[in-house]
């Protein structure tokens, strides 16, 4: 898939992106108290992959705000159903976001789209876990290996970012924003990760597992700094759980 090189300021901004930012950023400014750190680690130009932990439906908006105010208009590969929402779907498509049919045969096309975006020089945002964490205390869980394959094939810099507070703005799986107080949200970007030891091993499943664990460990280390708590010794592994791989698992418990 062919993508046009990023233009505008912040880099990657087009008319629809700017329109959406003009509406959403003032709202986020009213709703949040922001503690943003490590933005100097985000390249101001050229291809870059930014990864983060995933704890709330509002994550993508706040992460985009963080990146936008620090020089980059992010491109996400989002779940296909969001793009089918009237008006919203049209706006995010025009803003350059890319739909992905998760957990389907077409999901593999996401890698090609991400590689195309990076080849064009865009900032690509990825939530390696693929869904909101299932960990009961909201620590990062074992992630999918797609991020490792993308990093190895593209050789683009990968910037780990940890965030905390989004779950207080919009609780996990809730659709009700907290309007009655300003919520503190903290984002901490670390230095670029080094995947070079795994270059050429994009078809080696064990190498992909190791590289993914490495990336998520760095995100977790940043989250430890934010939370001031120790991460659990045993990382929640959705593959060893009877919970559904994606979607709101709390609904299943109520059925």
pLDDT given for residue 245 in this prediction: 63
User: Percent of the chain scored above 90 by pLDDT?
Assistant: 78
254, pLDDT greater than 50: no
User: Which backbone phi and psi does 102 adopt, to 5 degrees?
Assistant: -65, 150
pLDDT band at 255 (very low <50, low <70, confident <90, very high): very low
Q: How many helices (H) and strands (E) does the chain have?
A: 8, 7
The structural domains of the chain, with segments of one domain joined by +, span: 15-254
Q: What is the mean pLDDT of residues 24-35?
A: 96
Q: Please choose, from the candidates 250, 246, 230, the residue with its C-alpha nearest in 3D space to the C-alpha of residue 238.
A: 246
User: What is the pLDDT of the chain when averaged over all its residues?
Assistant: 91
Vertex 179 angle, CA 124 and 21, to 5°: 35
Q: In this structure, what are the phi and psi dihedrals at residue 143, rounded to the nearest 5 degrees?
A: -100, 170
> How many C-beta atoms lie closer than 10 Å to residue 8's C-beta?
12
User: 80-84, 193-197, 237-241 — which is least confidently predicted?
Assistant: 80-84
Tell me the pTM: 0.92
**What pLDDT score does 237 carry?**
95
Q: Which CATH architecture has domain 15-254?
A: 3-Layer(aba) Sandwich (3.40)
Rg (CA), the chain: 17
| pLDDT of 148 | 97
């Amino acid at each position: 898939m062919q993508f046009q090189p990023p233009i505008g300021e912040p880099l990657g901004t087009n008319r629809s992106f700017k329109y959406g930012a003009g509406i959403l950023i003032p709202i986020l400014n009213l709703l949040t108290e922001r503690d943003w750190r490590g933005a100097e680690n985000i390249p101001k130009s050229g291809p870059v992959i930014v990864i983060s932990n995933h704890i709330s439906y509002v994550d993508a908006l706040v992460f985009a705000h963080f990146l936008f105010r620090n020089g980059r208009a992010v491109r996400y590969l989002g779940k296909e159903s969001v793009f089918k929402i009237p008006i919203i779907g049209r706006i995010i498509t025009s803003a350059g976001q890319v739909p992905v049919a998760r957990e389907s045969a077409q999901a593999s096309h996401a890698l090609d789209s991400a590689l195309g975006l990076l080849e064009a020089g865009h900032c690509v945002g990825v939530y390696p876990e693929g869904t909101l964490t299932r960990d009961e205390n909201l620590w990062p869980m074992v992630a999918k290996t797609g991020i490792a394959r993308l990093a190895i094939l593209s050789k683009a810099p990968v910037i780990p970012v940890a965030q905390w507070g989004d779950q207080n703005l919009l609780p996990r799986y809730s659709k009700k924003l907290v309007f009655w107080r300003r919520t503190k949200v903290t984002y901490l970007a670390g230095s670029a990760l080094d995947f070079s030891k795994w270059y050429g091993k994009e078809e080696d499943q064990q190498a992909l597992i190791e590289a993914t664990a490495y990336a998520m460990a760095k995100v977790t280390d940043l989250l430890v700094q934010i939370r001031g708590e120790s991460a659990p010794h045993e990382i929640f592994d959705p593959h060893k759980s009877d919970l559904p791989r994606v979607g709101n698992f709390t609904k299943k418990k109520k059925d």
